[in-house]
Structure 1
Amino acid sequence: QKAKILKNTNLKSLRAVGGKGGDGCISFLHLWSNEFAGPDGGDGGNGGHVIFKATSDTKDLVNVLTVIKAEDGEKGRNKDCHGKNAEHCVIHVPIGTIVKNCHGRVVGDLSTEGVMFVAARGGAGGKGNHFFITDTQQSPEICEYGAEGEDLEYTLEIRSMAHVGLIGLPNAGKSTLLRAISRARPKIAPYPFTTLKPHIGMVQYDDYEQVAVADLPGLIPDSHKNRGLGIQFLKHAERCTALLYIIDLSQHEPWQHLQILQHELSQFSKYLLERPQLVIANKIDLPEANENLELIKEHTDLKIIPISAKVGTNLTELLREIRILYNKSKEENAENL
């Protein structure tokens, strides 16, 4: 049976609707000893809010609905019985989710565990006629309707998608490498742009630590000008903690490929080059690879790890280096907290 390919859902547009407040009640109390005991209409309950909450238990936005509506408050009743306030609708989203309004402006950043963002407030409950008693009006026959809840549109975007992102030109061997070090099964084919959406693979270590590695779509020259859906692909790189450049050693002058990738990242965001980086020299098993490996070392100061994703050469050292990058980022996050 063919293994399933799990695509990461990291962008979702939705509509958040707060609950309607309950209506107030018009009622007059009649007792056996006092037929005109006065108004006793209760107030309506408040509508529920729609709230986004960051949690480490959620990894993507697959289970987030496109229309989220909170419950309505209950109506007021006679004998001064107030309506029940509605429960808030709390939606769990991954840590690192940013919330944008309909104009594309960032209005929420859920960067730590337990942080909440109120997306749509529920309407207030209406007042019953008991509330409107005055010195001159002892038997008011008026009440309030419950207020409507807010109805707003948002875009949720996961900023931190994986611990490590695989960056490279098309057909550099990114998907092959992800299949070699994890159980992910992205599509592999001998033509460019086989990968159009990020694929996430979990690398499991002996101490039960798991590191998420993302196979990102290939970049081409002028990607920062949105050539070949470049901006969309570069946004995926922005959501990775560390970047691994996958360079095909069988190509002519492969160090130029590294320069192209670094240029595209710097043009999109200058902060991307400040993240931990590593050069993975792939296809070392081919005849011309050893000569190109020595040449590429002369053109960069980054650490280079020669591997063959297809044959499995030197993957153990690569996994060790990935773990070192992961531990460093984990320590930095702990210090920031």
Structure 2
Amino acid sequence: MDINKSSLHTDIDTVLNNYDFDFSDVEVTSLGNGHINSTYKLTTSEFEFVLQQINHDIFTKTVELSENAQKINTHLAEKNNQGEYPLAVPQQLLTKNGDTTIKIGSNYWRLMEFISDSYTLEEVSSPEQAALVARSFAQFSCALSDFSAEELSVIIKDFHDISFRMSQLSTAIANNTHNRLAQCQDIVDFCLSQQDFINSVVEISQKLPLHVTHNDTKINNLLFAKGDVPCAVIDLDTCMPGLLMHDFGDMVRTCCSNLAEDDTSTEEMVFKYDIFEALITNYKEAFGDTLTPLEKQSLIIGAKLLPFIIGVRFLTDHLEGDHYFHVDRENHNLDRVKSQFQLFKLVCEAEPELLKYAE
């Protein structure tokens, strides 16, 4: 194994003993750069797999999470076999006992198929690439349109509920457990001044239909094959009943800024109109006539909401001592807050121009 920390090595060996594969000679390397879970690639002479340790502090419903993924993958595989879903569906591997996860100590693990010669990308580099991203995530939701969202467990309650996230922030402000409020009071004041926007989100959310949504539609949650062609949607951890404006908004959040979400050069941020046009045009086209007029309007609100709500979450985590998101430096979450709120402002400024795409 390339990863030679003894306790991790032992845990991985124990996990793999629960599967019907020969792992006597396996190479283990870290895979990806997610905020939450720890993910590894396993390579043997015959197979390639993805092994993931699920962060049970964040995903407390770990079994339900993997069961959700199993239901979604089964449905998508059927659609793929019928020619109604063009992307591959990497499956979870069941243990010898038929389980989707294995628990070692207090940690939960799962084994998944790895699509050979596939890779991820960290940023959208062109409108053409943005079009592919939008179509892939739209195809994912379209293929699940006849799957009842109510069949899925809610993994993180109120995940994109702006009222709940503002309530969490209010508690963090009131408690100020790490004495960080003074250094970011101006940012807190800006956040609290957006009540009219928050009210508009609450109002439209009550009128929109539920879908099975991915809820983390970053480009690095797509696998690509040779030629930068999307071949699979991955990371189904936050798949739940939700609203399409959340998925679309997260694409805008992660594709339409010229800066990384933790870049400190916020004054140099620009909003990429050409990327936005590619995203919304291709997202709507992939759905065809199935989007309601209100859902089309909601996409613009989602484009504002996701930078704002993620900024609220980063701000809450900063005030509470950085216990949710991985941080690599002092004030890392605060840097993320500034970036997200700057993007929110830019989308708001662009809104008059963006509204033409809501028709």
TM superposition score normalised by structure 1: 0.25
Instruction: Answer with 1 or 2: which has the greater Rg.
Output: 1
The structure whose RCO (Cα within 8 Å, separation 6+) is larger is 2
Higher strand share: 1
Higher helix share: 2
